[in-house]
Structures are given as structure tokens and as C-alpha cells.
Amino acid sequence: MAHLPGAALPQPRWVPGGRLLLMAAVGAWLSSAPCRAQSFAFTLDVAQGLQFGMDKPRTPYLFGAQLAPALELERARLSLVFGPSYRNPDWDFPFGGQLSLFVPFAVKDLGLRLAAQGEYLPLNKSARASFGIVAEAFGLIRIGLWPAYDFQLKRAELTLSIGVDLVSWNRLIAAGGDGGYHPR
């Protein structure tokens, strides 16, 4: 194909998700730290909170239960999220994804998890983005604060969550209290 001086160059055609794949490949290439084998998590969280920026409903209440099967690689976690959610006056069943990074304190499995989450709410035809600061203790208990934004209703939300990692609890129960428990 001949190129004339001053003519626009043809733009590359991306396959769906091609940019995301390219960013993931560059990120993997730039990562120089060796990674340990992957592990899995399966978290269950229950949250309740408030909606802001609305006249109605008079009781701006939120409630939800969320399951999140996840793949862990070092301190990073990539999760699918889904579960029922009540946003006064309607129920919905949001699903989406979450990316988080665990920042340990002095003890290896005690720290904060910084999370970014995006969800689609199919019954309300809405999307929600949230960011969480979650305190974790050995994967056994999680307590989080989640500011969020609903794009359809253009309102802010704030929820408080409490949850567990079912895989860590399974490891604890399987160890039978013999002192051989290692959460991760």
C-alpha cells in the first residue's frame, strides 16, 4: 500500500479487549519480581450503608451480600464479584470484578487490602464503581469501608462490610487445631 506525503496513516485495528491484553502483557514484562504459585480465595462479605444525593427514598438504605471467587498472585488479588443487593426500594443482583492489593503490617497476614471494584446492576440497568479499604486478619475476618458511585442515578454511596475468606476457614478447620495452620 503506497503512502502519500501528508496523508493520514492507517490506524491499527484492535481486536476486542486488545488494549487490555496489551497492557497486561506490558505489565507482566515490566514486573521483575519473582512470583510464588497462585492461590485461591473465596470471600463472603455482608455490607450495609447509605445513599447520598437523593430526595427519595426517605430511607436511603443499602444492603448486600457478596461472593467473590478470586485468584491470588503474591499480594494482588483478581476477583469476580456477585450477589444480591437491596437498594431501597429495589432488589438487584450485581456482578462484576475487583482488583485488590494487600499491604501487610508487621505480621505477614495482618494488614489492609486496597480494592477497586466495578459492578453492573442488570435489573436497574446501572453501573457502580467503588473503592475499598479493608482490614484483614489472617484471611479469617475482613472489615471494610467502601465509598461508591452509581452512574445511572448519579449518587454517592457509602457502605461498611464484614466478611470472611471461606478458603482460609476451610484450612483452619482441616488443620484440626494441631498448630499446623497456615492461612495462605
Phi, psi of 171 (to 5 degrees): -60, -40
The owner of cell 494488614 is: 111
Comparison of pLDDT for 143 and 11, the residue scoring more = 143
Distances (CA, A) of 7 to 2, 15, 26: 10, 25, 30
User: How does pLDDT run across 106-137, given as a tens digit for each residue?
Assistant: 787 899 999 999 999 999 899 999 999 999 99
C-alpha cell at 78: 483478581
Amino acid letter, residue 56 = K
Task: Reply yes or no on whether the pLDDT at 30 is more than 50.
Answer: no
List the domains of the chain with CATH numbers.
37-175 (2.40.160.20)
Decide: 47 and 62 in contact? Cβ < 8 Å: yes
Amino acid letter, residue 145 = L
Alpha-carbon Rg for the chain, nearest whole angstrom, is 21
Q: Which residues partner with 131 through β-bridges? A: 116
HSE of 51 in the Cβ direction (CA atoms, 13 Å)? 21
Residue 93 CB contacts under 8 Å (≥ 6 apart), including other chains? 82, 83, 84, 85, 121, 122, 123
C-alpha cell at 145: 469501608
Task: Reply yes or no on whether the pLDDT at 48 is more than 60.
Answer: yes
Task: Reply yes or no on whether the pLDDT at 34 is more than 60.
Answer: no
Q: What is the pTM of this model?
A: 0.73
